[in-house]
Structure formats: C-alpha cells, structure tokens
Structure 1
C-alpha cells in the first residue's frame, strides 16, 4: 500500500480529507474483518487461511489494475485487499509461534519482523524508482500494481507449501471460538492496553500516509519519500536483532513503554523545518522505537493468549491496531489541510508537534496504570 496517498491525491485528484477518509475506512474494514475472520485461523488452520487471504488480496490488486473507476477501486481496497491482509498477517504471526522453538520464540518474532520490514523497504524503493522513471500518472501506478500482483502470486504459491502442525478444531463454529476468547478476563485487559497502543501505532501509519505528502509539499515535488521509507525499514531490520537481547533485561511490557516513549520523541527534529537531514533523524529515532515496540507486542500477545485459542486471540487482539489507520487517515487529512496544505501558508512543524504530543501521553498512561494493564505471561503463571 506504499504510495497510496500519492495515488489518491495526485493521480485520482481526491482531496486531502477524502484521501484521509478512504484510508480511515480501510482501517475500519480491517478492524471488522479481524473480528469476523479471526477465529477462522483456529478452525481451519494456517494453510487454508493463508491461501484464501492471498487470493482475496490478489483479486483486489487485479481489479485496481484492470478497472479505472475510482469507486470500484476504493471498494476493492476496502473489501478484498483489506480482508486478505486481515487474515494473512495474523496467520503469519501465529506461524512463528507454531514453528519456532519454545526457547527461541522471541528471536523468531524478531526475525519475522526483519523479513516484514525488508519487504516494506523493497516496496518503498520500488514505488520511488517507478515514480522517478515515470511520473505521477495512471500508467506508472499500473506498473506498480503489476509488480505488487507478481509478489502476491508468489506468496499464494508458497502458501500451498505450508503444513499445519495442529489439527483444526472442526467441532466448533468460528463464532463459538470467538465467544470463548471474548469471555476471558485476560482478553479485555489486553484490549485496553492495545487500544492505548493504537495511538503509538498511528505514528507509524503516518510514515506511509502523511510523510509522503509532507515531503512532497514542504521539500519539493521530487522528494524521494520512497527512499526515506526504505531507510526506515532498513534501520528497523538492523536494530530488531540488536535489541532482541533486551528481553533478558526488561519484560515485554517495559519494552513497549520504552519503545512508545522513543517513538513520541522522534518528531522533535521535524519541528525545526523540512529537509532531508531532519527527516532522516526523525526516521532513525522512530525506527529504533519501532524496533523495540513491534516484535515485543506480538511476543507479549502470544505469551498471554489462552491455550488453543492463539489464532483467535492474535487476530482479535491485533484488530484495534487497524484503528490506527482510521486515526491516521482522519487526523492526517485534517492536519495536512490545516497546517501543510498543497497551496498557501504552511506550518507543517505544528502538524508533527500535535502527533508527537498525542503519542507521548500513552507511555505515561502505561506507567501510571501498570498494575492494572500488565498481564503475567501464561507460561510463568502456570508455574505458580
């Protein structure tokens, strides 16, 4: 989805507000699909969910390529692509839990995110190269869609090679599995924490939604936002393995606080103006924060998930994170229009200041209410 905001505003001529609402609706649909489809992972297994999720996303991207109607394209994004991602990502995370050795799961989650961010870096580079060689027009983005389709085809083919370790629960309906998880106290306790972390996740969503338009307007029309996104992913790839050892000194909850606090401070360089130096410093700091935050969140989630309900728990517990796209889409569109418009007086630094203050509140709340929010990992609790 790299470059989506550029595509909607520059190619399809949608306003900042409309683009923001579209991205927000994508997050909303992802949230709904995560709830509706989350228990399918436990019932049908990883292989089937990966295959169907990839086929759904593939169909959506084919429609983007072959149909020029903006209405149909938006519907495709909000249904097929959103549903596919809502199934594939939790399935991949659960796959790490299934296949990784018990003593190496933290490293396994870290390596998962290394691969995840490498793919994000490649996406940013591909989009930037395509726009540099072409222009911000439909023909260029059609080539980008074709490249995306090629990768999804490969992902679909690889999904057929997956072999489930655990036998799917055929004797329960998917909604029954979901209800069992929803009834647990640990789920609702974690949902409160996850809803707080939505605000932190919003900052990372602004990287792909707001930063491209910010650079395009405040640095110049030829600003290489794709390369900056690639730098972000590259730094995360480097720091995730380096910072994984911190799990031996801090528990996952503490690392979530530290990562959130670092992320909030990352916007400070952008308060001093728009240029490649301030953007790179911002990206370096936010990347370090995300290197601490992202792997430990899924590590913590699976550590406290009820036995046998890991797939449902991961999908449901991750679903509020889709809300970050709603917040980022709506706030990004509003902030861009008011502080960093395409024409007229700009105070883009104020936009990032507001975003930073919103994020900074979260680690403070996590510290103050730690006794209520923090849950003991299941493997430790079972030994008491």
Structure 2
C-alpha cells in the first residue's frame, strides 16, 4: 500500500509540474510579438559573441603574432572598453528606446564582425576590438534584458527570464559546435614562436589573406548579426500600439521600458539631463548596495572569462590542436539547458576516463549547476532594484562585472599560461587552475560576510505585505491563482485515480 501511495504521489507531482509548465507557457501567449523577436535576437547575439570569444586569444596569437600576455591584454582591454561604453550607453538607452538602440547596436556589430573576418592590419584590428564590437554589444545586451521586463507581467516575468537565459545558452552551445566543425575542416593559421614569444615565420603566405578556421567562425557571426539587424526593423516604435493596450502590459512600471516615440529624443540627451541622472542614482542607497554586490561578483564572474581566455589554449597545449575545445566549452550551456544532474553519475565512473579530461568536464559541469541557480536570478534582481526610468543604467552596471573582469582575467590568463602552461617546455597546469580557484572563492566568502549590508532591507517587508494582501484578496474573491488551480486539478486527478 505504501509503495502504491508513493507511486501515486510521484505521479501527482509530475502532473502538477507539467500543468504548471503548460500554464506558464500559456501566460506568454498574450505577450507582445516583440518578446519573441527578443528571444530570436538573444540567440543570434549569443552565438555571435561567444563564437568569437572562444577563439579570440587563439586568433590573436595565430594570425597577428601576439604572445600569451599580449593576447590576454588585448582581450582584457576589449572587455574594459565594454564596461566604459556600457555605463555611458545605459543612460542613452533610457532616452532613445528599444528599437533605435537595437538598430544602432546591430549596425556597429555588423561592421565590426564583417571587418574582423577580413582584417589583416593591427591598427584596424584595434579599432574593431576597442570601438565597434564593445559599443555594439553594449547597445544590444542591456536592451534585450530590459525588453523582457517591458513585454511581460509580474506573473510571468520570472519564467520569461528563464527562457531568455536558456536561449542564451542555446546560442553558446551552437557556437562551440561550430568552432569544432571549422577547426576540423579548415587549417589553423599559426605563427612559429621563439621561447621569448617573438614570431619567426608564418605557416601561410604572410602577404595574402587566408581562409582559416577562426575567420570562418567570424564569418558565421557576421551573417548572424546581419539577421539580427533585419529582425530589429520589425520592432514597433509606437508605444501606444494596441498590442500594449491590455491591462497586463500597460502598467506604469512598463511604460518607460517600451520603445520611445519622441522624435526629439536627442534633445533630451543633454549634459544637464545626464548629470541629473547621475546625481539621482548616486543618492540612491539601492545603487550603492547594488554597486557593492556587483563588485563582489567580479571574481566569481571572472571564471567565465577564463573559459574564453584560458581554457581553449590550455586544452590545445595539453591535448593537441585538434582537441574538441568547442564541444567541451559547450558542456556548460548544454547542462544549463537540460539541468540534468549528471555530476554524481560522472564521478561514479571516474576510473574509466583519463583523469585530466574528466577533471575538465567536471569543472564545466559543476560550474554549470552553480550558474543555473544564480545567473537567471541576477537578471530579475537587477531590474527589480532599479528606479523607474533608470533601468538602462542599472543594467549597464549589472553587466559591468562580466566585462570589468576581462582586463584582470586577460592579464592573469596570459601570465598564468606563460608560467604554468607554456607552448613549449614543462607544464604545471594543476597549479594554474588552483590559483584561479582561490581567486574565484573570494566572491562567495565576501558575499556571505557582507550579506546584511548588501541585501535590500525592504525585501522581506515587501514579501510579508504581498503575502498579507494575497490572503485578504483570497478571502474576498473566488480563488483563481495558479497554486489553487494546481491543487484543485491535482486533487481531482487523485480522486479519479482512487476511484
């Protein structure tokens, strides 16, 4: 009897979870069409950005002769410019709206990625890496995240962000597979290095352009960005469109997030308005708590930059040029998408694999589980603490740790690779990852110590108030919320089963 009851309880739980998932998807059916455009754009931008990131330092070393330290510095400097542009552009996004931001950002990214595919000049490379690509990226990414809030309601926003994050990881997954495809199909351009890091000879014609695996990856990113620009034209500029006329999508909290209709938007982007915005945000206690939070998260999020700057070169030097670095890189998004608890399963068979290879896989898997817990919540937390009309600046600051971390990560990555995992000579790769682990560990420790200062003091009071108001409304009206509906359907299902 107990066994049957346990089985019935498991079936009931599955029915409830399935019904809840269907209801959440159904809640997005009434969402504006632009929400689905955002999802398409997120996939394309995610693919374009991460396909470039995973081969960036390799490309700089192979085709422009930069040693590990120089390539790491260039990669880090690109992230630093992204942070600087992102904070300034955040205020501009609040003024010009979604459509203009996307069109401008996609245009800059398209120019940058197309030029990067054919670039042979170091000066032109610097212009692309430090101006066009970071500026275009900063115009697109915060806008997409803000648009989720503007095109959803408080009831389905969390679920919409979950889909948003899953789609981003789908783009990363595809980028890793594409990198491996071109790595096997096309030759790798490489420079012959002396031990001091200076280049001595090309494996290809130094005076001609060569179709290499890295440039093929950049070409696919260019095509993806061109599709992004095309999709961006379909965003509706009119804030008063009937698609936003329903009560759910026409509240005051969403009004300033929807595309602007003011043709004189440039007049509002004055020095005075920017100074006023800075002053208003600077006097907001939530801003300083959020600033402290993002600063603490820098070391944690820097680990993701090591996946771009350190892991690919490490794998190529330990396992050879043909190692499936893209597929291993794709293990992280693959785990996030399906959320399969496979870490324990892998550890039971640890003796059947090469120790160092399984260590790489476990590193990515464990990283993925932690990312699945906190990263989607960071989106929701960022937009929830931002004051109305300042969401763009807060989102820019929210993304700052990921890009500010690229400068120290780039420098540290190049140094660690040269010292612990050089292209020639003995390697001590375990010590390199131990140093990276110690640096990353500082974030959860600091977050635990400073929790009572970082956490919003009104958070718990708001939850209590919502709970009380919810109970009062339940006593005065017919129960219609999701939990009660699930309970009623689950009970009816159990009664049917027992009869």
> Where on the TM-score scale, by shorter chain, does this alignment land: which range?
0.7 to 0.9
1:51 matched to 2:103? The reply is yes
Q: 1:299 is matched with which residue? A: 380
2-structure distance, mates of 1:219, 1:234: 22
Q: Which runs of structure 2 are paired with 1:129-168 in the superposition (5 Å)?
A: 129-137=181-189, 138-140=210-212, 141-163=214-236, 165=239, 166=258, 168=260
Distance 2:337 2:408 in 1: 26
Paired with 1:273 and 1:179, the residues of 2 have a C-alpha distance of: 57
Alignment CA distance shift 1:378-1:49 (3 Å): farther
Query: Is the 8 Å Cα contact of residues 301 and 401 (structure 2) preserved in structure 1?
Result: no
- Whole-angstrom CA distance in 1 between matches of 2:306 and 2:373: 18
More helix by share: 1
Q: Secondary structure at the residue paired with 2:299? A: helix
Question: Once the 2 structures are TM-superposed, how far is the Cα of residue 274 of structure 1 from its aligned partner?
Answer: 6.6
1:66-125 Cα distance to aligned partner (Å, 9 max, x none): 331123113201110011111111111111111122112121111111111111111111
Cα gap change, 1:186 to 1:273, in 2 (>3 Å): farther
Report the Cα offset of residue 350 of structure 1. 0.7
Q: Is the 8 A contact 1:300 1:377 kept in 2?
A: no
Distance in 2 between the 1:235 and 1:12 partners? 34
> Structure 1 pair 290/50, CA: closer, same or farther in 2 (3 Å)?
same
**How much has 1:377 moved relative to structure 2?**
6.6
Q: 1:179 to 1:55 in 2, by over 3 A?
A: farther
Structure 1 residue 195, shift from structure 2 partner: 0.9
- Could you say which structure has the larger radius of gyration? 2
2:453 pairs with 1:348? no
Counterpart contact for 2:98–2:259, Cα < 8 Å: no
Residue 288 (structure 2) pairs with residue 188 (structure 1)? yes
Are 1:215 and 1:274, in contact at CA under 8 Å, matched by a contact in 2? no
Equivalent in 405, 419, 430 of residue 324 of structure 1: 405
For residues 283-332 of structure 1, the C-alpha deviation after alignment (integer angstroms, 9 at most, x for no partner) is 11111111112111111111111122212211133223311111211111
Shift of 1:203: 0.3
Total equivalences in the alignment: 356
TM-score normalised by length of structure 2: 0.67
SS in structure 2 of the partner of residue 362 of structure 1: helix
1:103 is aligned, of 142, 149, 155, to 155
| TM superposition score normalised by structure 1 | 0.87
Moved more, 2-11 or 159-168: 159-168
Matches within 5 A, 1:18-33: 18-33=70-85
DSSP-derived class of the 2:405 partner:
helix
* Stretch moving more, 230-239 or 374-383: 374-383
Q: Distance in 1 between matches of 2:268 and 2:216?
A: 44
Give runs of aligned pairs for residues 196-211 of structure 1, distance below 5 A: 196-211=296-311
Give per-residue Cα distances to partners, 1:335-378, cap 9 Å, x unaligned. 11111111111101111111111111211111111110112577
CA distance in 2 between partners of 1:274 and 1:329 (Å)? 27
Deviation sequence 1:153-201 (CA, Å, 0-9, x none): 0111111112365363847436243443233221121111101101111
- Asked if structure 2 preserves the Cα contact closer than 8 Å seen for 1:24 and 1:327, the reply is yes
Q: Which runs of 5+ in 2 are unaligned?
A: 1-51, 190-209, 240-257, 344-349, 467-499
